[in-house]
Amino acid sequence: MNRLQVAVIDYGMGNLRSVANALKAVAPDLHIEITSDAQQIAAAERVVFPGQGAMPDCIRELDTRGLRQAVIDATRDKPFLGICIGLQMLFEHSEEGDVPGLAIYPGEVKRFPAEKMLDAHGGKLKVPHMGWSQVEQTGAHALWQDIPDLARFYYVHSYYVAPAESALTAATTAYPFDYTCAIAQDNVFAVQFHPEKSAESGLQLLRNFVNWKP
C-alpha cells in the first residue's frame, strides 16, 4: 500500500469526514485516511487532530482508544495540525469539566466569561461563539501563505485557549476581547476555528499544511 501521507486521527469525536474531504479536495493525489490505529498515525507523514464536543469526553475517548501517546509523539516529529478541541487538548488544563489536557504546552482552556460578553453597545454576545470572525495574524507563517490578514474563518466554541507563553500565539480573534485562535511552534500548528468549514481561506490553510515543510 502507498505510504500514508496524511492521517486524520479518529478518536470518536468530531466531524472527521468533512475534514478528510476538505483535505482530499486540496490534495487529490495524496493518500489521506481517517484512522484510529496508533501504528498508522506513527507511520504517517503528516497528522491532523480534529475534534468537536466537550473536553472531558474527548480526553476520555482518546485514552479509551489508546491514542494519547500517538498524539504526543506526532507533535514532536512531523507536521501536525490541530483543529478546535484538537487545539484545546494540547494545553495543560481546561475549565470545561476541570480536566487535565495533554500538557504539550503550558496554559489554560477558559470559558468565555459572562460578564465580558458584551458588544460595543452593551448588548449581550452569545456563547458559544458561533459564526464567522476575522483572524488577525501575529506574524508570517507558512500556513498563512496566500491568506490575507483579517480573513474570516468559521467558529463554534464556548472555550478558548490562554497560552502561558505569548510566543505560541500565531493569530488572535476578537469576541469581544482578543484571544488566541491559532498557535504555532516548530512542526505544530493548531487553530480554534474550522478550516474545513471556512470556504476558500480554510481550504488555503489546508493546502498550505499539506505542502508545509517545517
**Residue 105: closest CA among 177, 37, 170, 14:** 170
CA distances from 25 to 12, 28, 40, 190 (A): 23, 6, 22, 20
Residue 131: its H or E element: strand 129-134
Does 96 qualify as catalytic in the annotation? no
From the list 84, 96, 129, 181, the catalytic residue is: 84
**Which residue type, as a one-letter code, is found at position 186?**
D
DSSP secondary structure letter of residue 116: G
Our answer to whether residue 58 is catalytic in this structure is: no
Q: Is 157 an annotated catalytic residue?
A: no
CA distance linking residue 7 with residue 42, whole number of Å: 9
| CA–CA dist 74, 62 (Å, integer) | 14
Selection from 87, 80, 83 nearest residue 161 by Cα:
87
Active-site pick, 61, 96, 181, 196: 196
Question: What is the Cα Rg of the chain in Å?
Answer: 16
The residue count for the chain: 214
Selecting among 58, 157, 181, 194, the annotated active-site residue is 194
3-class DSSP assignment, residue 83 = strand
**Cα angle 193, 90, 172; round to 5:** 40
Distance CA 167, CA 100 (A): 22
Q: Which residues does the annotation mark as catalytic?
A: 84, 194, 196
